[in-house]
């Protein structure tokens, strides 16, 4: 059983936006518009400054100008996505052409904004990004529900590192000790937490998740421990928190390192005494809850730098499970990719395509900084843009092929047929019709149709 979400009484954390433009007045205009929509805004005037800003703190959305002085915004797109694979990017430019829009999308942009723009256009793009990210959260929840009902489908692995993690989770499930799951984003910490719960004696009681980074300090305290009417602006009724909802079951604290020091102290007390108070209430309550936490941070470093309580780390880290990144379990990449291909093909009610040898080599060679989540998203995208029966490297985001050298380059050790095939597929992907592609290539449409069929390019 899993409880429903607590109804929020105030908006969750603001959307984090990065504005990249070499013109100060454009950056200022965008900042005013975005802050008026409740966004947190950072600015960068150059490509290097944008990459540094993204490395320092994550962003949900980036507005990137096509021309950054002498640099190209198009060239910056794959570099931003390599740093943050889940970033949504909008390309802004005064030089709007169809070819530029196509190239921007091919390089990873989610949308395109011509200058001059209006506040209404900015609001529309922010709303679209919020909706897109919310759909992503819902897909994550659905994927975890699938893992709960058929855990072997998600946790099947040939990796010794994953086998060791699963064995430790199985042993931990027999106890009531706190468990700390460590691993990069996208490695499956949420799925593993749910698996631990399903193997434990608490499996018939609720499994409740709290996503710590998505809420402000006050809202996170309310989300965890609940509040009484009048505790803060917008608290119009008494509301139990996730601790009470998880009674008898498991409370999963995702990205626990994002908690404020004050909230860390409240969590420590709860772990020690199993006692808490709702916000604004003097009454002390008790709860029987097993706590599982997850983090992608180096908590020992955070302790040394004063960002995380050492005593809380000891309380959470009774049993530690480390999840390897996908690049550390290369034997799982292709089985996972095929599983995602099958899943998304069936969801779209289409025949299950195969992976070409070139695609398999590309997937194995890529480092997957976003781990299993990035692989899943890349496969989903491939099935949307490439309706042919064999998935080729061109179906995947350019950053993956570029990072692995999967694109054919002139002068390389390639046959004439390979070079022709690469060029034809690129042209077909960049124009809307076969006739236009034939015109660009300088051949008649019937010849191109035969070559496309031979190379298994997607139809119009």
Q: How many CB atoms lie within 10 A of CB 25?
A: 8
Phi-psi region of 71 (alpha: psi -120 to 50; beta: other; left: phi over 0): beta
pTM: 0.57
Question: What is the per-residue pLDDT for 398?
Answer: 80
* Crossing angle for the helix pair 47-56 and 73-83, to the nearest 10 degrees: 20
Question: What is the per-residue pLDDT for 19?
Answer: 95
Dist CA 2 CA 404 (whole Å): 41
Question: What is the per-residue pLDDT for 418?
Answer: 67
Question: What is the per-residue pLDDT for 136?
Answer: 60
Query: What phi and psi, each to the nearest 5 degrees, are found at residue 317?
Result: -100, 35
Pair type for strands 319-322 and 290-295: unpaired
Determine the distance from the C-alpha atom of residue 288 to the mean position of all C-alpha atoms in its chain, rounded to a whole number: 32
Tell me the domains of the chain and their CATH numbers.
16-133 (3.40.50.2300), 150-324 (3.40.50.300), 328-455 (1.10.8.60)
Dist CA 72 CA 390 (whole Å): 33
Contact between 182 and 295 (Cβ < 8 Å): yes
Task: Compute the half-sphere exposure of residue 194: CA atoms within 13 Å on the CB side of its CA.
Answer: 24
- Walk along the chain (460 residues) and give the pLDDT tens digit of each residue: 344 333 333 335 688 999 999 899 999 999 999 999 999 999 999 999 999 888 787 888 999 998 888 888 888 998 888 777 778 999 988 776 777 777 787 788 888 888 888 899 999 999 988 887 776 665 555 455 544 443 334 566 889 999 899 889 989 998 999 999 999 988 889 889 998 998 899 988 899 999 888 777 878 888 899 888 877 777 778 888 899 889 899 999 999 999 999 999 999 999 999 999 888 888 888 889 999 999 999 999 999 999 999 999 999 999 999 999 999 999 999 999 999 999 889 888 899 999 999 899 999 989 898 898 899 989 999 999 888 889 999 899 888 877 666 555 445 555 667 667 767 776 676 566 777 777 767 777 777 887 777 775 444 4
Question: What is the per-residue pLDDT for 14?
Answer: 80
Helices marked H in 109-184 — which ranges?
Answer: 119-149, 151-155, 160-173
The structure tokens listed for 219 are 């809202």
Dist CA 77 CA 63 (whole Å): 10
Pair type for strands 67-68 and 71-72: antiparallel
Question: What is the per-residue pLDDT for 96?
Answer: 64
């Amino acid at each position: 059983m899993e409880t429903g979400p607590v109804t929020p009484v105030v908006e969750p954390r603001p959307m984090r936006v990065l504005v990249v433009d070499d013109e100060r007045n454009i950056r200022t205009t965008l900042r005013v518009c975005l802050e008026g929509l409740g966004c947190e805004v950072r600015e960068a005037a150059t490509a290097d400054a944008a990459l540094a800003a993204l490395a320092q703190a994550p962003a949900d959305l980036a507005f990137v100008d096509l021309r950054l002085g002498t640099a190209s915004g198009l060239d910056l797109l794959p570099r931003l996505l390599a740093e943050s694979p889940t970033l949504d990017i909008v390309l802004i430019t005064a030089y709007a052409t169809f070819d530029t829009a196509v190239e921007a999308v091919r390089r990873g942009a989610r949308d395109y904004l011509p200058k001059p723009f209006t506040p209404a256009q900015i609001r529309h793009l922010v709303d679209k990004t919020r909706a897109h990210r919310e759909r992503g959260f819902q897909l994550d929840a659905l994927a975890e529900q699938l893992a709960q009902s058929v855990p072997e489908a998600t946790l099947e692995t040939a990796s010794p590192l994953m086998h060791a993690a699963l064995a430790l989770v199985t042993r931990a499930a027999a106890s009531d000790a706190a468990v700390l799951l460590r691993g990069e984003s996208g490695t499956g910490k949420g799925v593993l937490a749910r698996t631990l719960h399903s193997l434990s004696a608490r499996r018939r009681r609720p499994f409740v998740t709290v996503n710590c980074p998505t809420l402000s300090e006050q809202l996170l305290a309310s989300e965890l421990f609940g509040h009484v009417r009048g505790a803060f602006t917008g608290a119009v009724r008494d509301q139990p928190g996730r601790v009470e909802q998880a009674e008898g079951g498991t409370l999963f604290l995702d990205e626990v390192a994002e908690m404020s020091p004050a909230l860390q102290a409240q969590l420590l007390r709860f772990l020690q005494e199993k006692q808490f108070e709702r916000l604004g209430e003097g009454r002390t309550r008790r709860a029987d809850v097993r706590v599982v936490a997850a983090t992608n941070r180096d908590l020992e470093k955070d302790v040394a730098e004063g960002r995380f309580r050492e005593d809380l780390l000891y309380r959470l880290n009774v049993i530690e499970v480390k999840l390897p990144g996908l690049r550390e379990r290369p034997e799982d990449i292709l089985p996972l990719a095929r599983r995602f291909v099958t899943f998304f093909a069936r969801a779209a009610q289409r025949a299950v395509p195969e992976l070409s040898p070139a695609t398999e080599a590309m997937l194995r060679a890529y480092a997957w900084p976003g781990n299993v989540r990035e692989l899943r998203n890349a496969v989903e995208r491939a099935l949307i843009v490439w309706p042919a029966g064999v998935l080729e490297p061109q179906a995947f985001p350019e950053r993956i092929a570029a990072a692995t050298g999967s694109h054919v380059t002139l002068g390389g050790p390639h046959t004439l047929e390979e070079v022709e095939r690469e060029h034809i597929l690129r042209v077909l992907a960049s124009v809307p019709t076969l006739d236009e592609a034939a015109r660009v290539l300088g051949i008649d449409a019937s010849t191109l149709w035969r070559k496309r069929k031979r190379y298994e390019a997607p139809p119009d």
